[in-house]
Structure formats: structure tokens, C-alpha cells
């Protein structure tokens, strides 16, 4: 299995390290020629969604990435990656997202909770995190909530989290994604 990681900006290296610990080959997407390599899945990391979106368009990655997801490429978006997946951006997930929903950097926090399909006590690290304000179709399913806000969802072979599983030692979320990508 080979997983592509968008490496334009943000917390991509942490995903790479997590997947390497699981014995998974990864490569970084920085330009169009990187994207053209064979891949079994894609990770859209946290970071600054506005910057990532601008770079996706400038580097002519937006259309091929969007098309691959529409054709079923397994994708995992965390924090800013969740924003990119939303209807207002790449539009590959039927979600409406509230950006910076928990406030500025000082509003960052860590908790644990259940995630459908993964288990209980899943660590969740929120850093200037969004949450899902609305799920726009029955095809998209909420899989985790915190304080009555949807913080993770799954639609087909796409999963999104408002939090950063790559910043904790728990590998269950990445294993979950890899199971989807098989």
C-alpha cells in the first residue's frame, strides 16, 4: 500500500511518521508531477486551509485531486483537511464546516471520546479546530461528536476529523483509514 500526503503546508510530516510506524509507504505531494505517482489513498493534513486551497489551485493540483476523490480515492482529511473536503472547497464531502469553531490558538484542547468504527477513548487534539455545522446528505455519516458538535464524519471512502489523530500515539484512526483504503 502507498499513501500520498499533501505536503504544501501544515502538519503533513506527523502523518508520514504515523504511517511509517504502521509499515506503510508514503510520498509527499508538492507539485503536479508528484501527484501522478501511483497511490492507494490520500491524506489532507491540518494547517491553514486558505493557504492550502490557494496552492492547490496555483500548482494545478485542485482538479486532479478533486477528480480522483470523486472516482473513489480513499481520503483522510484532518482539521484544515476537513475544511478542504467540504462543499465550499473541494466539494467531495457533503458537509458544511465552521472554521476556527473553538477559537484561536488559546482555544486548543485535548479530550478523548468514542468514534464509531474505531472504539472508545480515542484521543482528540483540537488546534484552532473547525467542526461540522451540518451534514448535507444521508451519504455522509457523523462518527464522533464533542459537546454536541460533529467532529468526525465518513462518506464512502472519505473520512474527516476536526482534530489531529497524527499528534497522538494512538494509531487506531490511521488504521481505520488504511482499512478503508484496502
Give the separation between CA 123 and CA 58, rounded to whole angstroms. Answer: 35
Active-site residue, from 79, 89, 140, 174: 79
φ, ψ of residue 71 in degrees (nearest 5): -90, 0
Is 79 marked active-site? Answer: yes
Is 149 marked active-site? Answer: no
Q: What is the DSSP letter of 77?
A: E
User: Dihedral, CA atoms, 48, 50, 52, 56, nearest 10 degrees?
Assistant: 180
Active-site residue, from 14, 15, 140, 164: 164
Give the separation between CA 37 and CA 90, rounded to whole angstroms. Answer: 21
Is 164 marked active-site? Answer: yes
Active-site residue numbers? 79, 164, 166
Amino acid at each position: 500500500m502507498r499513501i500520498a500526503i499533501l505536503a504544501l503546508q501544515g502538519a503533513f510530516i506527523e502523518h508520514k511518521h504515523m504511517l511509517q510506524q504502521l509499515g506503510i509507504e508514503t510520498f509527499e505531494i508538492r507539485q503536479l508531477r508528484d501527484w501522478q505517482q501511483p497511490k492507494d489513498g490520500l491524506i489532507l493534513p491540518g494547517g491553514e486551509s486558505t493557504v492550502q486551497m490557494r496552492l492547490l489551485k496555483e500548482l494545478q493540483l485542485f482538479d486532479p485531486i478533486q477528480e480522483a476523490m470523486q472516482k473513489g480515492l480513499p481520503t483522510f482529511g484532518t482539521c484544515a483537511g476537513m475544511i478542504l473536503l467540504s462543499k465550499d472547497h473541494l466539494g467531495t464531502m457533503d458537509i458544511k464546516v465552521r472554521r476556527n469553531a473553538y477559537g484561536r490558538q488559546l482555544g486548543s484542547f485535548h479530550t478523548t471520546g468514542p468514534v464509531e468504527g474505531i472504539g472508545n477513548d480515542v484521543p482528540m487534539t483540537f488546534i484552532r479546530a473547525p467542526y461540522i455545522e451540518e451534514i448535507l446528505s444521508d451519504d455522509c455519516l457523523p462518527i464522533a461528536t464533542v459537546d454536541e458538535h460533529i467532529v468526525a464524519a465518513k462518506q464512502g471512502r472519505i473520512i474527516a476529523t476536526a482534530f489531529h489523530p497524527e499528534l497522538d500515539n494512538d494509531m487506531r484512526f490511521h488504521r481505520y483509514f488504511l482499512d478503508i483504503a484496502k
